[in-house]
Amino acid sequence: MYGLIHAALRDLILEDHGVETWNQVVLQSGVPSNSFLTMRSYSDETTMALVDAASQVLMLPTNDCLQVFGHYWVARFAPKEYGGLLDHTGGSLIEFFQNLDALHDRLSTSFTEFKPPSFKVKINTANSAVIKYVSSRKGLTPFVIGIITGIGERFDTAIHIDAVDSSNSDQGEVSDILISMASNG
């Protein structure tokens, strides 16, 4: 993954928990302090070492930590870095979800060795859908769940995760995430 992800996790912990907590995470992770160059690619193991350390220091289960991080990524970090791209990804919640692959395509021009996930949306009813998440990486469905709820907030819509069906293989991870939606307005 890119150092941009590491920088986002750093910002989340600094903003919500302070510099002492961040220093504990870095120490616990064993990740070198030069692992935060935003445009540089790092191993997934480096990223997960930071997430695991954050989970331990914050005393949150890893999946909960990933969910909080995913929410932060889309609700607070990505708007600062990619506000214009996000603004043009979709005018409605479902349209935004349907255009996530196109968003990743636009981002791929900025990053070498970019391996984005894929998202497909199947609308069940006016208030429910299944989001299929496909990734060459494993274990990031909780991060995606945080992203999904954060996108809901972007469109003033409460999203409830009704069910998650995940499977892993040598090729990565596939998850069907059943959501229900209710407008907050």
Where exactly are the structural domains of the chain? 3-59, 92-183
Q: What is the mean pLDDT of each run of 10 residues along the chain (185 residues)?
A: 84 96 95 70 87 97 96 92 85 91 74 80 94 93 96 94 92 95 83
Model confidence, pTM: 0.89
What does DSSP say about strands 157-169 and 118-125: parallel, antiparallel, or unpaired? unpaired
Please write down the long-range contacts of 178-181, taking CB distance under 8 Å and 24 or more positions apart.
Answer: 178/124, 178/128, 178/129, 178/130, 179/128, 179/129, 179/130, 179/131, 179/148, 180/127, 180/128, 181/93, 181/127, 181/128, 181/129, 181/152, 181/157
Overall fold of domain 92-183: H-NOX domain (3.90.1520)
pLDDT at residue 39, rounded to an integer: 65
pLDDT at residue 111, rounded to an integer: 62
pLDDT at residue 1, rounded to an integer: 67
pLDDT at residue 180, rounded to an integer: 96
